[in-house]
Each structure stands twice: as structure tokens, then as C-alpha cells.
Structure 1
Amino acid sequence: MRWDAFLEQVQERGEYGSPQEAERSARTVLALLGAHLVGEVRAELAARLPETFAVILLNPLQATEPLSPERFVRATAAWIEGATERTAAWDVSAVLSVAADAAGEDLTHRILLQLPPGYDLLFGHPET
């Protein structure tokens, strides 16, 4: 996916006022996500993202343990200046739903298998 297309989709879904706001959220969320994915799944997702975001995903923030979806949102809020848990949940969903679109159904399913239960909602792919 091209840089501008990815950011446009994040900006639209997150209802951000500028591409810079969308980029800030994407950088933060993907850095946190990268700490929770390993191996081939992380590499495959990176290959489907714009190069800058792929590098961020492949060189993640360090996580000492897998974060529940709620803790992932709280961590995102802590990294985004002025964010609350409510706005961070919006940020996470905007970025992860666009990443899921870029990944496709099969890869998104494999990503969700690596994450604690509940991430399906953040990716916009509720388990049925």
C-alpha cells in the first residue's frame, strides 16, 4: 500500500484534521503492535505497509509481556500527547483497521492468533 493511500484512510477513519495527526497515530500504534507480533506474520504485515511504517513495525518498542487490548489502548494514550483512553481507542481502531485492510483476511486472522483475545474489535474484524 502506498504511503499517501494508507495515511488518507487512517485520516478518514480517525477523522483527523490533518495528515500529520494520522501519521502520529499510525507511528505510535504500529510501534506498539510490532512489539506483539513475531516472525513471518510481522514480516508479512510489514511487506504490505508503506516502507516507513514497515520499518517502524519491524523495529518496535519493547514489550515485556503481551498487552491486553485495554492495556494496549492505555499504552497508546501514554505515547500520544494529549490523548485519553477514549481518543486512543479511536486512534488504535483507525490505524489497525487500515492495517487489516492492507493485510487481507488470511494475514489478519494469523495476526489475531498472535495477540491476546479481544484485538479483533480493534482491527475492525469481530469474531463471529
Structure 2
Amino acid sequence: MTPRTEAFLSRVQERGEYDTRHEAERAARVVLALLGAHLVGRERAELAARLPETYALILLNPLPAEEPLTAERFVRATAAWIPGATEQTATWDVGAVLSAVSDAAGRELTDRILLQLPPGYDLLFGLPQPT
């Protein structure tokens, strides 16, 4: 595992309070596969360049989304892909991964990513927008 991958997974594991690296890795793979299906163009390419290679490839090669998922449906989809997950645990998983993604991306890119997503994703990234 590269130092970059190790650092990213450490952030996910710490934020998700996972007992094992495997749990952090599983959450990262699922959330990034779903996120990649919702991002296009320059933002997706820039984000991929700031992630460890393993996760960049997952982000760049997602299953195509038929329609943009609301933040709530994104959490439900995450729960469906993680064995034994509930909406509550999936919310935790999504927050752990997307906050680490936001750190890797930086605020300016994260703001541009949020413009591509339906309302409510700011909370999933841990960046509530002022009202």
C-alpha cells in the first residue's frame, strides 16, 4: 500500500471510527463508485488526480447513473451496497469517506463538485452551506 493510500485510508478509518482498515476500505470503494457516477468532466478528473490511484480508478470507472441521486438516496444506495449496513450506518460511512475526499480535493474543488450534485450533499461532505 502506498503512503498516499495509507494516509487516505487512515483518515477514513479515523473519521468512521472503524475497527479495521478493511471496513474503511470497503466504505471508500462503495462511496467513491457511487460518487463517480454523479460527477463529470474536469471536476471528476481533478478529484481523481488528488486521490490515491486505487480510488482514482474507482472514481473514474463507475457504473453509469441513470439519474442523479438526492443525498438521501445516495445514502440508501450506499447502505444497499455494504452488507449489513443500515441508513444510519451508511450515513456515517458516507460522511467518513466524503470528508476525507474533501480534504484531498481542497475547498475550491469541493465547492465545484457540490455544484454538480443535488442539494444536501454539502452535509454529506461535512460542509454545511450557510443559509
Normalized against structure 2, the TM-score is what? 0.96
Give the corresponding residue for 2:43. 41
Structure 2 residue runs without a partner (length 5+) = none
Report the CA distance between 1:68 and its aligned residue. Answer: 0.2
Give the corresponding residue for 1:88. 90
Amino acid at match of 1:24: R
State percent identity of aligned pairs. 75
Q: What secondary structure, in the 3-state scheme, does the structure 2 residue paired with 1:2 have?
A: helix
The count of residues paired between Structure 1 and Structure 2 equals 128
- Give yes or no for the alignment of 1:69 onto 2:76: no
| Residues 29-75 of structure 1, C-alpha deviations (whole Å, 9 max, x = no match) | 00000000000000000000000000000001221000000000000
Amino acid at match of 2:81: W
Give the corresponding residue for 1:119. 121
Instruction: Point out 4+ residue stretches in structure 1 off by more than 4 angstroms.
Output: none
Normalized against structure 1, the TM-score is what? 0.99
| Residues 73-111 of structure 1, C-alpha deviations (whole Å, 9 max, x = no match) | 000000000000000000000000000000001000000
Structure 1 residue runs without a partner (length 5+) = none
Report the CA distance between 1:6 and its aligned residue. Answer: 0.2
Give the corresponding residue for 2:23. 21
- Give yes or no for the alignment of 1:9 onto 2:26: no
> How much is the aligned-residue C-alpha RMSD, in angstroms?
0.8
